[in-house]
Amino acid sequence: MVEIRKTAPASAGASELFQLLRDGQPRTRSELADLMGVARSTIALRLDALMGLGLVAPVEDAVSTGGRPSSRFAMSTGAQVVLGVDIGASHLRVGLTDLGGGCLADALRDLPVSNGPEAVLDTVAELAAELLEQAGRSTRDLLAVGVGVPGPVEHSTGRPINPPIMPGWHGFDVPGYLGEKLGAPVLVDNDVNVMSVGEREAAWPDVENLIFVKVATGIGAGIICNGELLRGADGVAGDIGHIRVPRGEDKLCRCGNYGCLEALASGVAVAAKLREAGLDARDGRDVVALVNSGDQQAVHAVRQAGRDVGEVLSACLSMMNPAVIVIGGSMALTGEHFIAGVREVVYSRTMPLATQHLRIVQSASGLDAGMLGASMLAIHHALSVESVDRMLAAGAGV
């Protein structure tokens, strides 16, 4: 590791200039000087520092002729890359993207998370090396890595905390282990938070307040509040699966309590209900197949699960007042049936002012939400004021 020294005077302020250019809009030195309130010569020095890192480049000017150098500059998304890693219960999806979130190469592996952190993260490192090679890049170009895992994560350390379906992962130093292998900072968050970031990026970039609900084997929500992911004091904001629903009084949840939303409305819970009725359903995937084949008992059960989720979301709506609720996870694949149940309860239980502009929709980004969201976490980290300052100080990429 290069020792971090104070930013050299010549590049001081370059990081702030870069934040201005992150919107992608090309600007001249004069425009930048006016915006930042400094001399053009100062802007020139800062642009040189940022171009040295590959973060900013001159823009091809359609009107410039005679081989004159372009006079406008913008953020350059292609020089460096990040890695987005979506670790699911039974699969692993890894994508290499540029700094604009554009996917350069990706890979999918069947690998149970229960194989433990070393086995899974070693595979991530192998896939990362393959993808970098495919895209003609090296680990030197890798600025950061984002990882989504199917369990709770302590945000300050990136360590999973008592994750129920991830044996061997409790307290494991994911950023330390993977960071050493890949030579880049590693950000870790739970899969639902990561998916909510990906869904917003893919489908709702202009929406500032959004709740993404994943209904699969478990139930959880990612909350985007005023454009930022809301994690709460301990990183568990949005853990709605264990909120009590009156209808479920006698249902024992895997957490040990009775009446949790998850014990009533998850894919596994609906499958259990259908088994009681004599149908062959082991998990959420079977439920989806039954619904799609037109089985009326399955349709009815899924709609009721939607209503149960709607009960809890009605309370969340009064607290958060989102503009969009996105339903993702395997149960969203039942099409309109699940969402119809959610809508039925939400619109009848919530004050009209909170629902007049509300949209309740199915996830648009599907399988890509996790990988894209993990990439976005990495990009936000890599391009933050602090990170760019560090790169400038270390002279990285020069």
Q: Which residues form the interface with Zn ion (CB under 5 A)?
A: 242, 253, 255, 257, 260
Q: Are 153 and 198 in contact (CB under 8 A)?
A: no
Query: Which of 42/217 has CB closer to Zn ion?
Result: 217
Query: Which of 218/306 has CB closer to Zn ion?
Result: 218
Query: Which of 4/255 has CB closer to Zn ion?
Result: 255
Query: Which of 67/256 has CB closer to Zn ion?
Result: 256
- To the nearest whole angstrom, how small is the minimum distance from the Cβ of residue 316 to Zn ion? 17
Q: Residue ranges of the alpha helices (H) in the chain?
A: 14-21, 29-36, 40-52, 117-134, 174-182, 191-203, 261-265, 267-276, 284-292, 296-320, 336-349, 352-355, 368-382, 385-394
Query: Which of 245/327 has CB closer to Zn ion?
Result: 245
Report the distance separating Cα 178 and Cα 93, nearest Å.
15
Query: Which of 183/258 has CB closer to Zn ion?
Result: 258
- To the nearest whole angstrom, how small is the minimum distance from the Cβ of residue 287 to Zn ion? 20
Distances (CA, A) of 217 to 64, 154, 284, 375: 57, 22, 7, 24
- To the nearest whole angstrom, how small is the minimum distance from the Cβ of residue 259 to Zn ion? 8
- To the nearest whole angstrom, how small is the minimum distance from the Cβ of residue 258 to Zn ion? 8
Reported residue count of the chain is 398
Backbone φ and ψ of 105, nearest 5°: -165, 145
- To the nearest whole angstrom, how small is the minimum distance from the Cβ of residue 243 to Zn ion? 9
- To the nearest whole angstrom, how small is the minimum distance from the Cβ of residue 241 to Zn ion? 6
Q: Are 302 and 341 in contact (CB under 8 A)?
A: yes
- To the nearest whole angstrom, how small is the minimum distance from the Cβ of residue 244 to Zn ion? 8
- Pull the structure tokens for residue 32: 């930048």
Query: Which of 200/242 has CB closer to Zn ion?
Result: 242
Q: Are 314 and 346 in contact (CB under 8 A)?
A: yes
Q: Is 8 helix (H, G, I), strand (E, B) or coil?
A: coil
Exposed e or buried b per residue across 190-222, where buried means at least 16 C-beta atoms within 10 angstroms of its C-beta: bbbbbbbbbbbbbbbeebebbbbbbbbbbbbbb
Tokens 């309370």 correspond to 315
Of 308, 309, 266, which is closest to residue 288 (Cα–Cα)?
A: 266
The strand pair at 324-328 and 210-215 is best described as parallel
- To the nearest whole angstrom, how small is the minimum distance from the Cβ of residue 263 to Zn ion? 6
Dihedral (Cα; 182, 185, 186, 189), 10-degree rounding: -170
- To the nearest whole angstrom, how small is the minimum distance from the Cβ of residue 379 to Zn ion? 34
Query: Which of 257/318 has CB closer to Zn ion?
Result: 257
Query: Which of 95/218 has CB closer to Zn ion?
Result: 218
Query: Which of 254/349 has CB closer to Zn ion?
Result: 254
- Strands ordered across the beta sheet of 27-28: 27-28, 72-75, 56-58
Exposed e or buried b per residue across 134-150, where buried means at least 16 C-beta atoms within 10 angstroms of its C-beta: ebebeeebbbbbbbbbb
- To the nearest whole angstrom, how small is the minimum distance from the Cβ of residue 285 to Zn ion? 22
Q: Are 235 and 222 in contact (CB under 8 A)?
A: no
Report the distance separating Cα 282 and Cα 305, nearest Å.
16
